[in-house]
Amino acid sequence: MQLLDPKNFSEYELLDSGNYKKLERFGSIITSRPEPQAIWDCSLSEAEWNKLAHATFKKEKQHDLAGERGEWVLKNGIENNWYINYNHAGLKIRFRLGFSSFKHVGIFPEQGANWDYIYHNVSKMKSAEKRVLNLFAYTGGASLAAKAAGADILHVDSIKQVVSWARGNMEASNLTDIRWVIEDAMKFVKREAKRGKLYQGIMLDPPSYGHGAAGEKWVIEEHLKEMLTTCKEILDPKEHFFILNLYSTGFSSLVIETLLNGIYATPKNLEIGSLYLIDKFAKKLPMGNYGRFSNIG
């Protein structure tokens, strides 16, 4: 088992965590927002948090530990949109961030370790085609990493506004020609399988619950195995990489390992573990589990 943290993300810091919240720096902006896994005590005082935070997320329901719904309270002079960069080992990408009503700001910084993995694997591909598929793609960090390395990338998400956000990130990163698909991810991969399409890379980052563009229902316990089985049909057996991220606390890294070994017949170079963030006081905040493998190089 491996632990992955985004140690190369210089414009992001987890400053403190605890009491079911986290204090983060995104470029020049410091935010305070709910975090259900931070069950320990904060290291900084409440007064220090209030002094440092430019934006604080207030939960709609006080007893909702996850605090997914609510509103941001901004200090005077703080704008709703700003930009940060990710720059490591040749990968240079840029993100627009903003305050949403679901406590998110447009980026999952723990994914920096996977962006490096994507960029490295696409750069090493020998295939004439470098077709890469990003499912449940959100604002496109993985898509940007693949495109920056020269991939022909398809970005699939069911929410039009999120795809527009991702397109803006592509333009801010001085990249072009990502192909955007606003559709239910399951419906898309089933159609690709029927067409006999193959991809040299697949990234899969599903939510616990969700809905497709036409109202299709996604429940991870019911649909994940079918999704992985269908992805196997469209993953190029000759040269490929594959990444699965799961934020659902109901699935451990052992579940991911057993699923991938069973469906993909013990894939080559399989890595299983947890993503995490480490704050300035050395407290490790878990941010989900992952499985990834590659036969490239």
Please answer whether residues 44 and 151 qualify as being in contact, where contact means their C-beta atoms are separated by less than 8 angstroms: no
* pLDDT at position 278 over 80: yes
Burial of 275 (0-12, 13-18, 19+ CB in 10 A): buried
102 within some domain: no
- In CATH, what number is assigned to the domain containing residue 258? 3.40.50.150
Residues 195 and 288 in one domain: yes
Task: Please state, in angstroms and as integers, the Cα–Cα distance from residue 258 to each residue in 221, 222, 263, following that order.
Answer: 15, 16, 9
**The pLDDT of residue 66:** 59
Share of the chain above pLDDT 70, in %: 97
Question: Is 249 within the bounds of a domain?
Answer: yes
Do 77 and 118 lie in a common domain?
Answer: no
Torsion-angle region of 237 (φ positive above 0: left; ψ -120 to 50: alpha; else: beta) = alpha
Mean predicted confidence (pLDDT) in 110-118:
96
215 and 146, same structural domain?
Answer: yes
Domain count of the fold of the chain: 2
Cα angle: 2, vertex 256, 266; to 5 degrees: 90
Q: What is the pLDDT of residue 268?
A: 93
Residue type, 257: E
143 and 227 share a domain? yes
pLDDT bracket for residue 65 (50, 70, 90): low
Q: Are residues 163 and 254 in the same domain?
A: yes
Question: Domain check: are 158 and 280 in the same one?
Answer: yes
- Structural tokens at position 7: 């140690």
Q: Answer yes or no: do 128 and 272 share one domain.
A: yes
- Could you tell me if 32 and 134 lie in one domain? no
| Band of pLDDT at residue 282, cut at 50, 70 and 90 | very high
Q: Residues with Cβ < 8 Å from 56, sequence gap 6 or more? A: 31, 32, 33, 50, 72, 73
SS in 3 state form for the chain?
CEEECCCCCCCEEEEEEECCEEEEEECCEEEEEECCCCCCCCCCCHHHHHHHCCEEEEECCCCCCCCCCEEEEECCCCCCEEEEEEEECCEEEEEEEECCCCCCCCCCHHHHHHHHHHHHHHHHCCCCCCEEEEECCCCCHHHHHHHHCCCEEEEEECCHHHHHHHHHHHHHCCCCCCEEEECCHHHHHHHHHHHCCCECEEEECCCCEEECCCCCEEEHHHHHHHHHHHHHHHECCCCCEEEEEECCCCCCHHHHHHHHHHHCCCCCCCEEEEEEEECCCCCEEEEEEEEEEECCC
pLDDT on residue 251: 86
Residues 114 and 218 in one domain: yes
Residue 87 lies in a domain: no
Among residues 44, 63, 82, the one where a domain terminates is: 82
Q: Mean pLDDT for the chain? A: 93
91 found inside a domain:
no
* pLDDT, tens digit (0-9, with 9 covering 90-100), for 124-139: 999 888 999 999 999 9
Residue 170 in domain: yes
CATH assignment at residue 72? 2.60.40.1180
Residue-number span of the structural domain to which 15 is assigned: 2-82
Question: What is the model's pTM?
Answer: 0.94
pLDDT in tens, 204-227: 999 888 877 778 888 888 999 999
- How confident is the model at residue 111, as a pLDDT? 95
Q: Per-residue confidence at 200, pLDDT binned at 50, 70, 90?
A: very high
Same domain, 268 and 226: yes
Residues 204, 279 within the same domain: yes
- Residue 130 in domain: yes
Amino acid 3: pLDDT: 80
Supply the pLDDT for residue 7. 82
The pLDDT of residue 267 is: 94
158 and 287 in a single domain? The answer is yes
Q: Is position 99 within any domain?
A: no
- Whether residue 97 is contained in a domain is answered as no
